[in-house]
A = this chain, B = another copy of it.
Amino acid sequence: MSKAYNVMAATCPSRTVLHRIGARWTVFVVNALADGPRRFTELKGHIRGITPKALTETLRSLEADGLISRHDHDENPPRVEYALTPLGRSLLIPLRAVRLWAEEHVPDIEAARSRQPVP
């Protein structure tokens, strides 16, 4: 049952899924929600360098894909909390593997890059 989709096919929808995962900020946002719900400004503060525009777009995309949920408490002052859905939490596992790999192998890759001739 797990082989119903094959990413190598040109028309396979799993490509759009991979595209979303590969988007600039997805990994950061999903990871930032790993420990529980967070508010907009919390996320913005935690993910250094992200602009409100990028954060909004990322949150909306992830919500559209059912990976996170948005809960507006409808208070004043406003309070909105974002949280991973069960689907989003399941993504956390492979994403953590990728993140750890990245953090682990930065030196190797930087070494390889520095071996390049600088044009």
Residues on A lying within 8 angstroms of B by beta carbon are: 2-10, 13-14, 17-24, 27-28, 31-32, 46-49, 64-67, 87, 90-91, 93-95, 97-106, 108-113, 115-116
Contacts and interface: CB of A to CB of B under 8 A. Distances in A.
User: 7 nearest interchain CB pairs?
Assistant: A66-B112, A22-B22, A10-B48, A10-B49, A94-B97, A5-B103, A17-B102
A115 B103 CA distance: 36
A17 B47 CA distance: 17
Contacts of A101: 90-91, 93-94
Quickly give the copy total for this chain.
2
B66 A98 contact: no
Nearest to A26: B22
Nearest to A1: B104
B95 A9 contact: no
Nearest to A95: B98
Contacts of A48: 8-10
Contacts of A87: 105, 108-109, 112
Nearest to A22: B22
